[in-house]
Amino acid sequence: MSTMLGAYGALLRVEPGRCLELVADVHAFLHSRSRPRVPNAMVAICGAVRGAALVDSGEHEEGIEELRVARACADAIAAATDVVAMVALLEHGAATAVGRHDVVRAVTGWAERVLGAGGEAALLRAHRLTGLGRDRAAAAALAPVLDESAATALPWAQIEAFLLDCRLALRAERLPRARRSLARALELTADTGALRPLARAPAEIVDLMVRHLGGLGALDPAAVRVLSARQALGLDRHPVTLTARER
Protein backbone atom coordinates (compact mmCIF):
# COMPACT_ATOMS: atom_id res chain seq x y z
CA MET A 1 0.00 0.00 0.00
CA SER A 2 2.85 2.42 0.76
CA THR A 3 4.21 1.87 -2.75
CA MET A 4 0.82 2.69 -4.25
CA LEU A 5 0.56 5.84 -2.14
CA GLY A 6 3.98 6.87 -3.40
CA ALA A 7 2.93 6.24 -7.00
CA TYR A 8 -0.29 8.22 -6.49
CA GLY A 9 1.69 11.10 -5.00
CA ALA A 10 4.09 11.06 -7.95
CA LEU A 11 1.15 11.19 -10.36
CA LEU A 12 -0.31 14.24 -8.60
CA ARG A 13 3.12 15.93 -8.62
CA VAL A 14 3.24 15.33 -12.40
CA GLU A 15 6.07 12.81 -12.27
CA PRO A 16 4.64 10.11 -14.56
CA GLY A 17 7.95 8.33 -15.04
CA ARG A 18 8.46 7.97 -11.30
CA CYS A 19 4.84 6.93 -10.90
CA LEU A 20 5.18 4.13 -13.47
CA GLU A 21 8.43 2.99 -11.88
CA LEU A 22 6.80 2.69 -8.47
CA VAL A 23 3.65 1.00 -9.72
CA ALA A 24 5.42 -1.52 -11.99
CA ASP A 25 5.95 -4.26 -9.40
CA VAL A 26 2.45 -3.87 -7.98
CA HIS A 27 0.96 -4.07 -11.48
CA ALA A 28 3.00 -7.18 -12.32
CA PHE A 29 1.91 -8.86 -9.07
CA LEU A 30 -1.77 -8.04 -9.62
CA HIS A 31 -1.62 -9.52 -13.11
CA SER A 32 0.35 -12.65 -12.26
CA ARG A 33 -1.49 -15.97 -12.52
CA SER A 34 -0.21 -17.23 -9.19
CA ARG A 35 -1.26 -14.24 -7.10
CA PRO A 36 -3.67 -14.70 -4.20
CA ARG A 37 -7.03 -12.97 -4.34
CA VAL A 38 -6.65 -9.23 -3.74
CA PRO A 39 -9.34 -6.60 -3.11
CA ASN A 40 -10.93 -4.98 -6.16
CA ALA A 41 -10.07 -1.63 -4.61
CA MET A 42 -6.35 -2.31 -4.96
CA VAL A 43 -6.75 -3.42 -8.57
CA ALA A 44 -8.83 -0.34 -9.37
CA ILE A 45 -6.41 2.09 -7.70
CA CYS A 46 -3.38 0.53 -9.38
CA GLY A 47 -5.06 0.55 -12.80
CA ALA A 48 -6.30 4.13 -12.50
CA VAL A 49 -2.96 5.52 -11.32
CA ARG A 50 -1.00 3.56 -13.93
CA GLY A 51 -3.46 4.45 -16.71
CA ALA A 52 -3.34 8.16 -15.93
CA ALA A 53 0.47 8.09 -15.80
CA LEU A 54 0.59 6.31 -19.17
CA VAL A 55 -1.60 9.03 -20.70
CA ASP A 56 0.65 11.68 -19.17
CA SER A 57 3.62 9.88 -20.76
CA GLY A 58 2.02 9.88 -24.22
CA GLU A 59 0.89 6.22 -24.18
CA HIS A 60 -2.71 7.19 -24.80
CA GLU A 61 -4.28 3.98 -26.06
CA GLU A 62 -2.80 1.76 -23.35
CA GLY A 63 -3.58 4.32 -20.67
CA ILE A 64 -7.22 4.70 -21.66
CA GLU A 65 -7.67 0.93 -21.73
CA GLU A 66 -6.07 0.59 -18.29
CA LEU A 67 -8.46 3.22 -16.94
CA ARG A 68 -11.45 1.42 -18.49
CA VAL A 69 -10.49 -1.78 -16.69
CA ALA A 70 -10.01 0.17 -13.46
CA ARG A 71 -13.54 1.55 -13.79
CA ALA A 72 -14.91 -1.98 -14.20
CA CYS A 73 -13.15 -3.03 -10.99
CA ALA A 74 -14.36 0.07 -9.15
CA ASP A 75 -17.93 -0.63 -10.26
CA ALA A 76 -17.83 -3.81 -8.18
CA ILE A 77 -17.04 -1.81 -5.03
CA ALA A 78 -19.39 1.14 -5.52
CA ALA A 79 -19.64 1.62 -1.75
CA ALA A 80 -15.98 2.71 -1.67
CA THR A 81 -16.75 6.25 -2.81
CA ASP A 82 -13.18 7.52 -2.50
CA VAL A 83 -11.91 4.85 -4.91
CA VAL A 84 -14.80 5.40 -7.32
CA ALA A 85 -14.24 9.16 -7.22
CA MET A 86 -10.52 8.80 -7.91
CA VAL A 87 -11.07 6.43 -10.83
CA ALA A 88 -13.80 8.65 -12.28
CA LEU A 89 -11.84 11.90 -12.14
CA LEU A 90 -8.62 10.36 -13.48
CA GLU A 91 -10.40 8.62 -16.35
CA HIS A 92 -12.50 11.68 -17.20
CA GLY A 93 -9.42 13.92 -17.26
CA ALA A 94 -7.40 11.50 -19.36
CA ALA A 95 -10.22 10.94 -21.85
CA THR A 96 -10.80 14.69 -22.15
CA ALA A 97 -7.10 15.29 -22.76
CA VAL A 98 -6.93 12.82 -25.65
CA GLY A 99 -10.30 13.71 -27.19
CA ARG A 100 -12.08 10.44 -26.34
CA HIS A 101 -15.54 11.95 -26.00
CA ASP A 102 -17.17 8.52 -25.94
CA VAL A 103 -15.21 7.65 -22.82
CA VAL A 104 -15.98 11.06 -21.28
CA ARG A 105 -19.71 10.38 -21.68
CA ALA A 106 -19.41 6.84 -20.33
CA VAL A 107 -17.46 7.75 -17.21
CA THR A 108 -19.66 10.77 -16.47
CA GLY A 109 -22.81 8.66 -16.66
CA TRP A 110 -21.22 5.99 -14.48
CA ALA A 111 -20.05 8.48 -11.85
CA GLU A 112 -23.43 10.19 -11.66
CA ARG A 113 -25.11 6.81 -11.20
CA VAL A 114 -22.69 5.41 -8.63
CA LEU A 115 -21.73 8.53 -6.66
CA GLY A 116 -25.18 10.11 -6.62
CA ALA A 117 -25.08 13.43 -4.77
CA GLY A 118 -21.34 13.41 -4.07
CA GLY A 119 -19.11 16.33 -4.96
CA GLU A 120 -17.19 14.49 -7.68
CA ALA A 121 -20.43 13.51 -9.42
CA ALA A 122 -21.59 17.14 -9.31
CA LEU A 123 -18.23 18.25 -10.72
CA LEU A 124 -18.48 15.83 -13.64
CA ARG A 125 -22.09 16.87 -14.22
CA ALA A 126 -20.92 20.48 -14.43
CA HIS A 127 -18.23 19.47 -16.93
CA ARG A 128 -20.87 17.71 -19.04
CA LEU A 129 -23.12 20.77 -19.06
CA THR A 130 -20.15 23.01 -19.92
CA GLY A 131 -19.40 20.81 -22.91
CA LEU A 132 -23.00 21.25 -24.05
CA GLY A 133 -22.68 25.04 -23.82
CA ARG A 134 -25.11 25.22 -20.90
CA ASP A 135 -22.89 27.41 -18.77
CA ARG A 136 -25.57 28.65 -16.36
CA ALA A 137 -26.69 25.12 -15.63
CA ALA A 138 -23.05 24.10 -15.25
CA ALA A 139 -22.46 26.89 -12.74
CA ALA A 140 -25.53 25.81 -10.77
CA ALA A 141 -24.34 22.20 -10.71
CA LEU A 142 -20.88 23.30 -9.59
CA ALA A 143 -22.02 25.66 -6.81
CA PRO A 144 -22.47 22.96 -4.10
CA VAL A 145 -18.91 21.75 -4.73
CA LEU A 146 -17.49 25.25 -4.40
CA ASP A 147 -19.30 25.98 -1.15
CA GLU A 148 -18.61 22.41 0.08
CA SER A 149 -22.27 21.57 0.69
CA ALA A 150 -21.58 18.65 -1.67
CA ALA A 151 -18.52 17.08 -0.08
CA THR A 152 -15.72 15.72 -2.24
CA ALA A 153 -13.85 12.53 -1.35
CA LEU A 154 -10.60 13.78 -2.91
CA PRO A 155 -8.85 16.98 -1.76
CA TRP A 156 -7.67 17.75 -5.30
CA ALA A 157 -11.24 17.56 -6.63
CA GLN A 158 -11.72 21.01 -5.11
CA ILE A 159 -8.88 22.28 -7.31
CA GLU A 160 -10.68 20.87 -10.35
CA ALA A 161 -13.88 22.58 -9.24
CA PHE A 162 -12.32 26.04 -8.91
CA LEU A 163 -10.59 25.62 -12.26
CA LEU A 164 -13.92 24.86 -13.92
CA ASP A 165 -15.42 27.88 -12.18
CA CYS A 166 -12.53 29.97 -13.50
CA ARG A 167 -13.17 28.68 -17.00
CA LEU A 168 -16.88 29.48 -16.80
CA ALA A 169 -16.09 32.96 -15.49
CA LEU A 170 -13.69 33.59 -18.37
CA ARG A 171 -16.33 32.50 -20.87
CA ALA A 172 -18.77 34.93 -19.26
CA GLU A 173 -16.09 37.69 -19.23
CA ARG A 174 -16.28 37.88 -15.44
CA LEU A 175 -12.58 38.50 -14.89
CA PRO A 176 -12.65 39.31 -11.14
CA ARG A 177 -14.40 36.00 -10.44
CA ALA A 178 -11.99 34.16 -12.75
CA ARG A 179 -9.03 35.61 -10.86
CA ARG A 180 -10.54 34.69 -7.49
CA SER A 181 -11.19 31.12 -8.57
CA LEU A 182 -7.70 30.80 -10.00
CA ALA A 183 -6.23 32.12 -6.73
CA ARG A 184 -8.26 29.59 -4.74
CA ALA A 185 -7.08 26.78 -7.04
CA LEU A 186 -3.49 27.91 -6.51
CA GLU A 187 -3.98 28.03 -2.73
CA LEU A 188 -5.26 24.46 -2.74
CA THR A 189 -2.43 23.40 -5.03
CA ALA A 190 0.11 24.86 -2.61
CA ASP A 191 -1.63 23.21 0.36
CA THR A 192 -1.97 19.73 -1.17
CA GLY A 193 1.07 19.59 -3.47
CA ALA A 194 -1.24 18.28 -6.21
CA LEU A 195 0.12 20.07 -9.30
CA ARG A 196 -1.67 17.88 -11.84
CA PRO A 197 -5.07 19.64 -12.08
CA LEU A 198 -3.52 23.03 -12.86
CA ALA A 199 -0.72 21.54 -14.96
CA ARG A 200 -3.35 19.99 -17.25
CA ALA A 201 -5.73 22.97 -17.15
CA PRO A 202 -7.11 24.55 -20.35
CA ALA A 203 -4.83 27.06 -22.05
CA GLU A 204 -7.02 30.06 -21.22
CA ILE A 205 -6.63 29.40 -17.49
CA VAL A 206 -2.87 29.00 -17.81
CA ASP A 207 -2.68 32.22 -19.83
CA LEU A 208 -4.55 34.04 -17.04
CA MET A 209 -2.09 32.66 -14.49
CA VAL A 210 0.91 33.69 -16.60
CA ARG A 211 -0.44 37.23 -17.00
CA HIS A 212 -0.50 37.58 -13.22
CA LEU A 213 2.76 35.76 -12.51
CA GLY A 214 4.95 37.91 -10.29
CA GLY A 215 1.91 39.53 -8.73
CA LEU A 216 0.45 36.52 -6.98
CA GLY A 217 2.34 37.07 -3.74
CA ALA A 218 2.73 33.88 -1.73
CA LEU A 219 1.12 31.91 -4.57
CA ASP A 220 3.83 32.73 -7.12
CA PRO A 221 6.00 29.68 -6.21
CA ALA A 222 3.03 27.34 -6.72
CA ALA A 223 2.31 28.94 -10.10
CA VAL A 224 5.94 28.52 -11.17
CA ARG A 225 5.91 24.85 -10.16
CA VAL A 226 2.71 24.32 -12.14
CA LEU A 227 4.23 25.89 -15.24
CA SER A 228 7.36 23.79 -14.86
CA ALA A 229 5.24 20.63 -14.57
CA ARG A 230 3.21 21.66 -17.60
CA GLN A 231 6.39 22.13 -19.61
CA ALA A 232 7.56 18.67 -18.56
CA LEU A 233 4.35 17.25 -20.03
CA GLY A 234 5.01 19.13 -23.28
CA LEU A 235 1.84 21.19 -22.90
CA ASP A 236 3.18 24.68 -22.29
CA ARG A 237 4.63 27.34 -24.53
CA HIS A 238 5.60 29.53 -21.56
CA PRO A 239 9.27 29.15 -20.56
CA VAL A 240 9.86 29.16 -16.82
CA THR A 241 12.94 28.99 -14.66
CA LEU A 242 12.82 27.87 -11.04
CA THR A 243 14.91 29.72 -8.50
CA ALA A 244 16.82 27.73 -5.89
CA ARG A 245 14.25 28.73 -3.28
CA GLU A 246 11.30 27.64 -5.46
CA ARG A 247 12.91 24.25 -6.06
27 — pLDDT class (breaks 50, 70, 90): confident
pLDDT tens for 35-59 read 667 778 888 999 999 999 999 999 9
pLDDT confidence of residue 247: 38
Judged against a pLDDT cut of 60, whether residue 241 lies above it is answered with no
pLDDT tens for 195-227 read 999 999 999 999 999 999 999 999 999 999 999
pLDDT confidence of residue 246: 38
Residue 60 phi/psi, 5-degree rounding, is -65, -50
77 — pLDDT class (breaks 50, 70, 90): confident
For helices 2-12 and 16-30, the axis angle rounded to 10 degrees is: 150
130 — pLDDT class (breaks 50, 70, 90): very high
pLDDT confidence of residue 197: 96
- Which element (helix H / strand E) includes 231? helix 220-232
pLDDT confidence of residue 236: 61
Give CA–CA dist 154/236, Å, rounded. Answer: 26
Residue 62's CB: how many other CB atoms inside 10 A?
A: 13
Give CA–CA dist 153/121, Å, rounded. Answer: 10
pTM for the complete prediction? 0.90
C-alpha R_g of the chain:
18
Helix (H, G, I), strand (E, B) or coil at 78: coil
Judged against a pLDDT cut of 50, whether residue 135 lies above it is answered with yes
pLDDT confidence of residue 191: 96
Q: Any alpha helices (H) in 31-100, and if so which ranges?
A: 40-56, 60-75, 81-97
